Amino acid sequence: MPTITQLEYVLAVHKTGHFGRAARDLGISQPTLSSQIQKVEQELGLTLFDRQAKPIALTSQARPLIEPMRAVVVAHERLLAAASGTSEDIAGPFSLGVIPTLAPYVLPWFLGEFAERHPEVELSVFERPTDEILTEIGASRMDAAILATPLDEPSIHEELLFYDPFYLYAHADEPLLEQDAITVDDIDSRKLWLLEDGHCFRAQVINLCGLHQRQQLGSVRFAGGSFETLRYLIDASEGYTLVPETFARTLSRKVRKRSIRPFDERIPTREVSIVSHRLSWKSEIRNAIAEVVIERMPHCFQRELAEEEVMPIRVGPQPGRP
């Protein structure tokens, strides 16, 4: 059977998609790495990698083997950590992804405090869309991420951080602003501005409003890359969008009074969690990040909401929709 070291070599090639980079990361020569991978392939009686692909990719036979291989390596790492008494240490490199609709608002809450509490952690933060984050976590290139959930991914561990309610942001002349609060039924898709494709918040708004992904939205088909961009475009033209509390609370009191309206009755709300691979052996650092986020988040955010008060929004497309 393959050794632990050989399994680590396989995972390194899968992670980098390149024999040269994997060899460099492992501190061995490329011929040595290639030789060891070939030995694993001979032992298992199959080809692990499509060497013609760029980047190098797993073969269809090898894909089901990656998770069991990872489980063996992680179990070995945990055994060594427990034996050396370092299983509870919060130290070492750790990569954290954050989706663009959360990064500018959530990172300032906890980065400074976390660095003060855990100076031994070498934290690297990356702003990425959800799909890229899940790919990175699946390939062991990212340790954890803060994003909107639930994801319905069996390999992903999710830990709730807080709930983020939605608001209407509208042009100053929008008739809906005459109301103290609105409902989902008040929203006219012809006036609605959306974030561009790739943002999970866009999918959540589409699911909330029952829209088709490719529905024509008024005469302007602009899709903004940030809430700030949408806000300025709406102020300069017409219509409205939906924004989360994480963004809305950064606006001045004057702007909130003029352009923001809450939802009545059940409030559309996104769930924000810290996620990692279920087999991650860096759970102590992930838990430490979650602890600081929860402690430092503004009091307006809650971790427990009555079911009748909120309308949870799916992250992905609704069944039967593109």
Give the model confidence (pLDDT) of 236-270 as tens digits.
989 999 999 999 999 999 999 999 999 987 788 88
198 located within any domain: yes
Rounded CA-CA distance 293/151 in Å is 20
Average the pLDDT over 159-185 and give the result: 94
Residue 316 lies in a domain: no
Q: How many CB atoms lie within 10 A of CB 197?
A: 11
Q: Does residue 214 sit in the same domain as residue 279? A: no
Provide the pLDDT confidence category of residue 216 given band limits of 50, 70 and 90: very low
Which CATH number is 247's domain given? 3.40.190.10
Q: Token digits for 22? A: 């994997």
| d(C-alpha 75, C-alpha 185), whole Å | 51
Peptide linkage before 64 cis (omega within 30 of 0): no
**Co-location of 101 and 221 in the same domain:** no
Asked whether residue 318 is domain-assigned, the answer is no
Residue 317 lies in a domain: no
Q: How far apart are CA 138 and CA 180, in angstroms?
A: 45
Same domain, 260 and 179: yes
Question: What per-residue confidence (pLDDT) applies to 124?
Answer: 96
* Whether residues 215 and 133 fall in one domain: no
In three state form, how does the secondary structure of 10-41 look? Answer: HHHHHHHCCHHHHHHHHCCCHHHHHHHHHHHH
Burial of 259 (0-12, 13-18, 19+ CB in 10 A): buried
Helix intervals (H) in 195-260: 200-209, 227-236, 245-248, 253-259
Q: Crossing angle, helix 4-16 and helix 30-44, to 10 degrees? A: 110
Domain's final residue, options 57, 84, 111: 84
**Do residues 206 and 163 lie in contact, with contact meaning Cβ atoms separated by under 8 Å?**
no
Tell me which H or E stretch contains 69. helix 63-84
Confidence of residue 322 (pLDDT cuts 50, 70, 90): very low
Are 118 and 71 members of one domain?
no
Percentage, residues of the chain above pLDDT 70: 85
* H or E segment and range at residue 288: helix 283-296
Does residue 154 sit in the same domain as residue 290?
A: yes
Query: In this predicted structure, what is the pLDDT of residue 281?
Result: 77
Does 81 or 57 have the greater pLDDT score?
57
Give pLDDT tens digits for 3-19. Answer: 999 999 999 999 889 99
Q: Do residue 142 and residue 291 come from a single domain?
A: yes
* Residue 7 to residue 135: CA distance in whole angstroms: 20
Note whether 118 and 90 are within 8 A (CB).
Answer: yes
Same-domain status, 190 and 247: yes
- Picking from 42, 62, 84, the residue at the C-terminal end of a domain is 84
Mean pLDDT on 219-226 = 57
Indicate whether 112 and 136 sit together in one domain: yes
Range of the domain at 140: 92-162+274-308
Q: Quick check: is 315 in a domain?
A: no
Residue 56 in any domain: the answer is: yes
Distance from C-alpha of 289 to C-alpha of 121, rounded to nearest angstrom: 11
Residue 172 shares a structural domain with residue 259: yes
Residue 15 lies in a domain: yes
Query: Is pLDDT of 99 > 90?
Result: yes
Identify which has the larger pLDDT, 84 or 298: 298
The partner residues of 52 in beta bridges, in order of sequence, read none
Total tally of structural domains belonging to the chain = 3
Whichever domain contains 51, its CATH number is 1.10.10.10
Residue 213 in domain = yes
Phi and psi at residue 69, in whole multiples of 5°?
A: -65, -45
The answer on 302 and 250 residing in a single domain is no
Looking at the structure, tell me whether residues 294 and 152 fall in a common domain.
yes
pLDDT of 221 above 50 = no
